[in-house]
């Protein structure tokens, strides 16, 4: 059993990964990262994070495909995903595929932290996303 909730960040921008990692670690989260959608799917299956923060514009496998595959797999189907992307045209598609929240880049760190916390609270309470 982990002491700290684990967040998987899937983003190919090292500056975003670094900024989000610093913020989340300061808030008490265990953070792991992946640089593309394929690696994100692999890490999600290996590490079973409590929440995934994912960009949509990713190399190897785009975020929408990764999101669909994460939620199609029995081990990760209920893992909350917060999309953090500049691709706002894909907002409705991401939400249809099961993303809990869609946050636009550039992002507000407090809003991201709130979305992560809310996603975990919904999961703990067993609340289904509408």
Residue 1 lies in a domain: no
Domain that holds residue 31: 6-125
| Domains identified in the chain, total number | 1
CATH number assigned to the domain comprising residue 83: 3.40.50.2300
44-92: per-residue pLDDT in tens? Answer: 999 999 999 999 999 999 999 999 999 999 999 999 999 999 998 999 9
Residue 24 lies in a domain: yes
Q: Is residue 124's pLDDT more than 80?
A: no
Residue 64 lies in a domain: yes
pLDDT value at position 128?
43
* Close Cβ partners of 26 (under 8 Å, ≥ 6 residues apart): none
| Nearest alpha-carbon partner for 78 in 125, 18, 9 | 125
- Edge-to-edge strand order for the sheet containing 51-54? 30-34, 6-10, 51-54, 81-85, 101-104
Q: Which residue has the higher pLDDT, 2 or 28?
A: 28
- What does pTM read for this prediction? 0.91
Residue 130 lies in a domain: no
90-111: per-residue pLDDT in tens? Answer: 999 999 999 999 999 999 999 9
Average pLDDT for 14-30: 97
| Nearest alpha-carbon partner for 42 in 18, 61, 17, 15 | 61
């Amino acid at each position: 059993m982990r002491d700290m909730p684990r967040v998987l960040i899937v983003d190919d921008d090292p500056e975003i990964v670094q900024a989000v990692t610093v913020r989340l670690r300061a808030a008490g989260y265990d953070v792991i990262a992946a640089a593309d959608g394929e690696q994100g799917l692999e890490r999600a299956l290996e590490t079973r994070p409590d929440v995934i923060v994912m960009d949509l514009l990713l190399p190897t496998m785009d975020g929408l495909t990764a999101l669909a595959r994460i939620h199609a797999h029995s081990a990760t189907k209920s893992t909350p995903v917060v999309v953090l992307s500049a691709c706002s045209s894909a907002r409705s598609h991401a939400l249809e595929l099961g993303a809990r929240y869609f946050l636009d880049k550039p992002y507000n760190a407090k809003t991201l932290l709130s979305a992560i916390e809310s996603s975990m609270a919904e999961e703990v309470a067993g609340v289904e996303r509408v």
